[in-house]
Chains A and B, each alone.
Chain A
Amino acid sequence: AQSVTQLDSQVPVFEEAPVELRCNYSSSVSVYLFWYVQYPNQGLQLLLKYLSGSTLVKGINGFEAEFNKSQTSFHLRKPSVHISDTAEYFCAVSSSGGSYIPTFGRGTSLIVHP
């Protein structure tokens, strides 16, 4: 079975400061990893994904994430946040063999203050 833990339910940060949203996963097989963003009253939008290859993944809106297999982590980072980054962020994992059904974390609410 696979699982995802997002270590922080809420992360407050000031505008233009850097931010890291933490995600740890567990799986007995190789994985695909994803980060999504959800704005109020909207569906999810993919920020980035790791399938294989380079462990540093760059996504949209200036976000990037690093896959660390030994620590089973996939933390999301942005060097300088904007007010418009205020949203809910979800980490997800699916097994790269088997059913591919994604498992989502409980989400991290990023709150950017002016």
Chain B
Amino acid sequence: KAGVTQTPRYLIKTRGQQVTLSCSPISGHRSVSWYQQTPGQGLQFLFEYFSETQRNKGNFPGRFSGRQFSNSRSEMNVSTLELGDSALYLCASSPGDLGHADTQYFGPGTRLTVL
């Protein structure tokens, strides 16, 4: 099976712009979670989608949003970018939702740099 893929791998934006990141889960996986990884804050949970519904949301402002499509692919959007949004954004997929504690498979991430 192909692993989790994330596009693009690298992205440079300027403050105030918006960005959309994409994640394709492993075939058959219905849960997609997003994480932000920074040197200062470490790994932080953004949100989880399962069967097109947001199941859980981390402590991030409303500028961070996401969605999941019927084929389980997911996108996350960040509007009005700030310098502090520079981070590695990781996507992870699993067969069931987080409550089942299924193994999460991570993609390689999208490195976002905000100038």
Instruction: Mark A residues whose CB is within 8 Å of B.
Output: 32, 41-46, 49, 51, 90, 92, 94, 96, 99-107
In the assembled complex, which residues on chain B have CB atoms less than 8 Å from the CB atom of A46? 103-105
Cβ-neighbour of B43 out of A45, A96, A104 (below 8 A): A104
Which residue of chain A has the shortest Cβ distance to B98 in the bound complex?
A: A100
Given A49-B101, A104-B42, A107-B42: A43 and B90 interface contact (C-beta under 8 Å)? yes
Instruction: Mark B residues whose CB is within 8 Å of A.
Output: 4, 42-45, 48, 56, 58, 90, 92, 97-99, 101, 103-109
Given A44-B90, A90-B43, A94-B101: A101 and B106 interface contact (C-beta under 8 Å)? no
B108 near A51 (CB under 8 angstroms)?
Answer: no
Minimum CB–CB distance for A108 against chain B, Å? 12
Given A90-B43, A101-B98: A43 and B4 interface contact (C-beta under 8 Å)? yes
A101 near B58 (CB under 8 angstroms)?
Answer: yes
In the assembled complex, which residues on chain A have CB atoms less than 8 Å from the CB atom of B106? 43-45
In the assembled complex, which residues on chain B have CB atoms less than 8 Å from the CB atom of A43? 4, 90, 92, 106-109
